[in-house]
Every structure is written in structure tokens, then in C-alpha cells.
A and B are shown apart, each in its own frame.
Chain A
């Protein structure tokens, strides 16, 4: 079945440094890749997404890259701030199924 692997499971960075989270998906027909941020005790919320017809997308300090050939996609956060501390989830969805398969999450800690 469909599977999304996410690494690392935990990540600690100094404030101002960059953070990179990587995901690999198994279903080559996946065409939508959202990233969610979940603060402690709260609901996951979308922070950025990318479709398979695009290789990179950026929104201020956050960027996502997609390598369809390798079935990899990554989240890049630059100039990290303490409020970036949260659990981040990647997901993949195959067009027409409306089914989102999530990775296992990365707990990011930004140290002041």
C-alpha cells in the first residue's frame, strides 16, 4: 500500500539556523504534497504544499522541493525562530483518491 517515510523524527537547531526535513513516498502516482505544522495539543495546519508539476515552491522562510524521479520531497525552513518549534508532518496524495497519507512526523526544537 501507499507509504510515506519521514526523517528525522527529531531535530534540534539553534535559532537562526536552517532546518531540513525529508520525506519519501512510495506511490509514483502521487501528485499533491502538503506539509502540516502541529503545535502542542493543537490541530495540524497547512504551512505549504506543492504539486507534482512544480519542482520547488517558496513562501518567505519556508520552501519545499520535489524530486519526482526519486520520489523525495523536502521542507526547508531558514532563519529558524523559537515559534517554529512544533511537529511537522509531510503527506502525499494520489490524484482523484482524496486520500492523504502522512509521514510519522518530525519534532523540531529551535533553541534560543
Chain B
């Protein structure tokens, strides 16, 4: 069966520090991968998605970046965190290519920038 791992679960970082969140998927090949951010009391904002190795689509201009160095690995990074980067970050995957189907979410990372 397929599983998705996301870490760390919680993170407190000072303003201006770098960020690296990692997500890996097991049990499937060539998944579509996603990074979402959920600010307190708000919806799920799509940040990046990837349909293949090295293919990254950015949805929202910001100081974050994403990379997909391996088929089932998706990394969210920042060189310098801002206070506004605080939130709940969720990695997700779906079966690709083909019909749009269910997206499966990781456990999430709660990031607090202080």
C-alpha cells in the first residue's frame, strides 16, 4: 500500500533562517506531488506541484521554493523565513498520469516563525 511521510511534525524557526521540509512517498511510481499551506483558520493554499522529476509548477509568488530530486521525494525550502511563512504545511500526492483522482495528504508540519 502507498504511504506518505512528511517531517518534521513541528518546527520553530527564527526570522531570516533557512527552511527545509521533506516529503517522501512509498508504494507508487511517478506520483503527482503537492505542497499546500494552511494558515490559521484559512483554507488550503496550493504552493507548488510537480508531475515529474525536476518539474515544478509554482502557484504563488513568495520566498519559498520546491524541488523534486527523486521520483518520490518533494522538498520545500526557503533561504530566509518571514513571519508570514508561519502555518501548517501539507505535502500530498496523487496517482499520475491519468484521471484526476484523490489526493492523499501527509501528517503536516506546523511551522512557527518567531
B43 touching A100 by the CB < 8 A rule?
A: no
Q: Is the CB of A98 within 8 A of B96?
A: yes
Stretch with Cβ within 8 A of A (4 or more), from B19-27, B61-69, B73-81, B101-109:
B101-109
A43 and B43 form a contact (CB under 8 A): no
Question: Which positions 88-105 of chain B face chain A at CB distance < 8 Å?
Answer: 90, 92, 94, 96-97, 99-105
Residues of A within 8 A of B113 (CB): none
Contact-residue size bin, chain B (C-beta under 8 Å from the other chain): 20 to 34
Contact of A98 among B44, B90, B94, B108 (CB under 8 A): B94
Q: Taking chain A's interface residues, is the majority helix, strand, or loop, or is none over half, making it mixed?
A: strand
B-chain residues with CB within 8 Å of residue A97 when the two chains form the complex = 100
Name the B residues within 8 Å of A49 (CB-CB).
102
How many whole Å from A87's CB to the nearest CB in chain B?
Answer: 9
Would you call A100 and B34 a contact (CB within 8 A)?
yes
Is there an interface contact between A32 and B99, defined as CB atoms closer than 8 Å? yes
Is A45 in contact with chain B by the CB < 8 A criterion? yes
- Distance in angstroms between the alpha carbons of A102 and B90 in the assembled complex: 13
A61 interface contact, C-beta 8 A: no
In the complex, the answer to whether A46 meets B102 with C-beta atoms within 8 Å is: yes
The answer for the CA separation of A100 and B95 in the assembled complex, in Å, is 13
B36 cross-chain contacts in A, Cβ below 8 A: 102
A14 to B100, CA, bound (A): 35
Asked whether, in the complex, the Cβ of A100 is within 8 Å of the Cβ of B46, the reply is yes
Most B Cβ at <10 Å: residue of A31, A95, A99: A99
Q: Knowing A43-B90, A43-B105, A43-B108 are in contact, say whether A95-B44 is a contact too (CB < 8 A).
A: no
B interface residues, Cβ below 8 angstroms from A: 32, 34, 36, 42-46, 49, 51, 57, 59, 90, 92, 94, 96-97, 99-108
Known pairs A100-B46, A100-B100; list 7 more (Cβ under 8 Å): A43-B105, A43-B106, A96-B100, A98-B32, A98-B100, A102-B43, A104-B42
- Chain A positions within 8 Å of B, measured between CB atoms, are 6, 31-32, 34, 42-46, 49, 89, 91, 93-105
The 7 lowest CB-CB distance pairs between A and B, nearest first, are: A104-B43, A32-B100, A102-B44, A43-B105, A98-B32, A93-B100, A46-B102
